[in-house]
């Protein structure tokens, strides 16, 4: 039972020029920069750079706060920052040390589960996966599918696999390493699926030998506060990609999916989220710079101007998809 009034974690956006203020604050649990290549900070386990460049406001940083002072440690290549309630982890993996992306991914997921166990956090809530050449074929398998193979192998041992899967994003970079960061909790949360989309873990075999191990969204109650972490969402209805090579229609379809998911989560869990305009942030991953102004307009008109939106250059895991959008509803009082 939590007695604290504040949310155990919440997100905000700042400017790189103010970074020293965030670094000094012992309630800051993660400081994320965005650039062409990924990077870790060897001195400060809360700091890292995601290997995806921002398309506008390039000085933006993402700052996650906790409600209590944070303990931050780096051990054997994994950085962990945590409080009593929540753990924020980050790792970079050099694929050269492994025979395949599947092996590297398997190692990374084993490593992060060890770290969770070590600090007493049993439940994954949300994962971000970023790696280069996502649509390239290697040893007869597309790299995204190889990633899914390794992840599945590492996660299939968790209790109630397929009913306690975390939310996730998996995006292609032009960076050097496999980069994974994640949020974990001590108490269980609730997996949410989207009736408009076949659950990714039930995708047919033609999308890869092992289906992707993630939920459409993950809901966590923290006392009175509710957090809904929404996975990367694309223009997929059922399990098929829609609107090939039509960026604008893909954007609309993706927002339809997210709206449908929120409506469903509201009904299933009595959340009362008023709509996509109530979310705490959006990240929009685009394969090409072409058409970004139009996507911005669509998102602006459907989401409103209250929600921070980050635009990042990244590849989507199916080569026919041009855009992917993630977000979260993070209730907090501070």
Supply the residues annotated as catalytic.
324
CA distance 171 to 313: 10
Shortest reach from residue 168's CB to ligand 3EB, in Å = 4
Shortest reach from residue 37's CB to ligand 3EB, in Å = 21
Q: Contacting ligand 3EB (CB under 6 A), which of 236, 265, 312, 330?
A: 236
**Segment lying near ligand 3EB (by CB under 6 A), choices 12-20, 111-119, 173-181, 227-235:** 227-235
| Site string (149-168) toward ligand 3EB, x via CB under 6 A | -------------------x
Shortest reach from residue 33's CB to ligand 3EB, in Å = 22
**Segment lying near ligand 3EB (by CB under 6 A), choices 4-12, 78-86, 186-194, 231-239:** 231-239
DSSP string, 153-221: HHHTTSTTTTTSPPEEEEEEESSSSEEEEEEEESS--EEE--TTB--GGG--GGG-SS----BSEEEEE
**Between 61 and 258, whose beta carbon lies closer to ligand 3EB?**
258
Check binding of 132 to ligand 3EB (CB under 6 A). Answer: no
Residue nearest to ligand 3EB (CB): 232
Q: Contacting ligand 3EB (CB under 6 A), which of 317, 322, 325, 328?
A: 317
Exposed e or buried b for every residue in 141-150, given b needs 16+ CB within 10 A? Answer: bbbbbbbbbb
Nearest to 303 by CA among 266, 329, 321, 322: 329
Nearest to 38 by CA among 277, 312, 319: 312
Cβ(101)–Cβ(150) under 8 Å? yes
CA distance 181 to 289: 25
Check binding of 109 to ligand 3EB (CB under 6 A). Answer: no
Shortest reach from residue 128's CB to ligand 3EB, in Å = 9
Shortest reach from residue 60's CB to ligand 3EB, in Å = 22
Cα four-point dihedral sign 144, 150, 154, 156 = positive
| Site string (188-217) toward ligand 3EB, x via CB under 6 A | ------------x-----------x-x---
Question: Helix (H, G, I), strand (E, B), or coil: what is residue 312?
Answer: strand
**Between 22 and 329, whose beta carbon lies closer to ligand 3EB?**
329
Check binding of 232 to ligand 3EB (CB under 6 A). Answer: yes
Shortest reach from residue 149's CB to ligand 3EB, in Å = 11
Exposed e or buried b for every residue in 245-273, given b needs 16+ CB within 10 A? Answer: eebeebbbbbbbbbebbbbbbeeeeebeb
Nearest to 102 by CA among 139, 149, 142, 157: 149
Return residues touching ligand 3EB (CB under 6 A). Answer: 129, 168-170, 200, 212, 214, 231-232, 234, 236, 317
């Amino acid at each position: 039972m939590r007695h604290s009034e504040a949310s155990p974690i919440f997100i905000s956006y700042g400017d790189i020029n103010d970074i020293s203020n965030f670094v000094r604050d012992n309630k800051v649990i993660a400081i994320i920069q965005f650039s062409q290549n990924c990077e870790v900070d060897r001195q400060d386990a809360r700091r890292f750079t995601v290997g995806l460049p921002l398309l506008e406001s390039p000085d933006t940083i993402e700052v996650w706060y906790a409600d209590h002072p944070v303990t931050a440690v780096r051990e054997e290549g994994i950085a962990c920052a945590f409080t009593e309630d929540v753990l924020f982890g980050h790792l970079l993996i050099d694929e050269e040390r492994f025979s395949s992306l599947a092996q590297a991914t398997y190692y990374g997921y084993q490593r992060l589960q060890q770290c969770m166990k070590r600090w007493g956090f049993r439940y994954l809530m949300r994962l971000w996966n970023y790696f280069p050449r996502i649509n390239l074929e290697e040893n007869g398998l597309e790299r995204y599918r190889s990633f899914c193979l390794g992840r599945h192998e590492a996660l299939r041992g968790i209790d109630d696999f397929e009913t306690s899967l975390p939310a996730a994003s998996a995006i292609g970079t032009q960076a050097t390493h496999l980069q994974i960061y994640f949020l974990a909790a001590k108490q269980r949360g609730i997996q949410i699926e989207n009736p408009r989309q076949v659950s990714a873990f039930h995708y047919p075999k033609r999308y890869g030998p092992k289906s992707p191990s993630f939920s459409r969204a993950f809901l966590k109650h923290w006392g009175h506060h509710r957090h809904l972490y929404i996975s990367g969402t694309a223009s997929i209805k059922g399990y098929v990609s829609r609107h090939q090579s039509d960026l604008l229609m893909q954007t609309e379809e993706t927002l339809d999916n997210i709206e449908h998911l929120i409506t469903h989560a509201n009904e299933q869990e009595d959340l009362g989220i008023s709509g996509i305009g109530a979310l705490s942030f959006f990240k929009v991953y685009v394969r090409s710079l072409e058409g970004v102004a139009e996507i911005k307009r669509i998102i602006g008109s459907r989401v409103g101007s209250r929600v921070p939106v980050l635009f990042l250059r990244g590849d989507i895991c199916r080569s026919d998809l041009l855009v992917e959008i993630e977000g979260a509803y993070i209730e907090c009082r501070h």
